[in-house]
């Protein structure tokens, strides 16, 4: 059963390759959804897929960008199935 993860990252997360790394990582794990910069300086991420793959995604993002992330808020829910791939939104 697929899950949805919705996260907000804050800190120095703009201009460090966060969105592009998130897109590559999510795509490599077969996750669908999107990532985008918010005007308030945070990054928003929505991922759908297997729970274990989403957890691996979160770990990889944390390992690469842990020094830039000040706070992370993650919510879990049921997958909607509305995404066909993972992309960067502008």
Positions annotated as catalytic residues are: 19, 37
Q: Taking Cα atoms as reference points, which of 26, 7, 15, 5 lies closest to residue 68?
A: 15
Rg (the chain; Cα; Å): 12
d(CA 44, CA 27): 16
């Amino acid at each position: 059963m697929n899950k949805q993860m919705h996260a907000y990252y804050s800190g120095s997360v703009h201009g460090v390759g966060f969105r592009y790394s998130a897109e590559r990582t999510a795509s490599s794990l077969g996750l669908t959804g999107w990532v985008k910069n918010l005007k308030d300086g945070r990054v928003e991420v929505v991922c759908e897929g297997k729970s274990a793959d989403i957890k691996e995604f979160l770990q990889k993002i944390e390992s690469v960008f842990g020094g830039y992330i000040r706070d992370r808020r993650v919510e879990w829910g049921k997958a909607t199935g509305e995404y066909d791939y993972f992309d960067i939104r502008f």
